[in-house]
Amino acid sequence: MEIRPLTGAFGAEVLGVDLGSGIGDQQAQAIQMALAENGVLVFREQAFDIDGFEKFALSIGEFGDTPFITPVDGHPNVLRLLREADEQGPLFGSGWHSDWSFQLKPPSATLLYAVDVPEAGGDTAFTSQYLAFESLSESMKSILLGLEGIHSAERSYGPKGTFGRPDPNSSMDIHGDETAVVHQLHPLVRSHPLTGRRSLFVNEVYTVGIEGLTNSESSSLLKFLFEHCKQIDFTCRVRWEPGTLTIWDNRATQHFAINDYFGNRREMYRITLAGEQPVLASS
């Protein structure tokens, strides 16, 4: 198994492994550590059916909870992310975010497997939250280390959210509800359980405030952090091909689904892996 850097910043392509044939404990541990260190791993030319996809996922973690979206029939832990060529509604996965950060124990990682993709377009962009934190001034780091972010699914899945009402024209059954307005506190800076490295844990989709600050204070600080995290120096980008599997670490990255493929069909399968409650990073 060869690990090749994807960019000069972060991310890696993994070569020389056929995941569909099954992997041993040693390879599973190597993938887990490579993911924690690189943030994003890309595996090309992988052949999975849904059962095989689930089997591989379970070799590197346990299934996480997936709310608000109807999964694949008979596979409660697999989502089919489908957008037909003529769909015009909001794109699932757009906006910079870390998956399900509004949960008490957000997913450790997400696996996304490409079944049908456009010849061009539909890439996924990533930004390193390790680099975002490490590039801050020492004074700003000290301020953030004492604060907790307020996370909620209300903007996406609440009654007035982007996906708050069923869309009969959507290929995906997304059904927001009142449970989406619940708030969950997480430290703005968390420590990774495998590397010990510190990362920012905020995102513009699910972080709606900062505990203990006024609305004005919270809004100003979050606006700065959201923009800071998007710096091009912190990013990498994955171009999809059929058979590409990408795994990203939600504890150390954000991602953004790029909506530039209208008139083309895109079909992916997604699994999230269970994570732990974020731990406040020590100073």
Domains of the chain, start order: 2-273 (3.60.130.10)
Determine contact, residues 205/96, Cβ cutoff 8 Å. Answer: yes
- pLDDT at 204 (0 to 100): 97
For the segment 198-212, the average pLDDT, to the nearest whole number, is: 98
Mean pLDDT of the chain: 96
Rounded CA-CA distance 103/153 in Å is 9
- Alpha helix positions (H), 61-137: 129-134
C-alpha dihedral, 283 to 236 to 243 to 72, nearest 10° = 50
- The pLDDT tens digits of the residues spanning 212-268 come to 999 999 999 999 999 999 999 999 999 999 999 999 999 999 999 999 999 999 999
Tell me the C-alpha to C-alpha distance, in Å, between residue 43 and each of 87, 129, 241: 29, 22, 10
For the full predicted model, state whether its pTM sits above 0.75.
yes
Report the alpha-carbon angle 202-9-122, nearest 5. Answer: 70
Token couple for 216:
């004005």
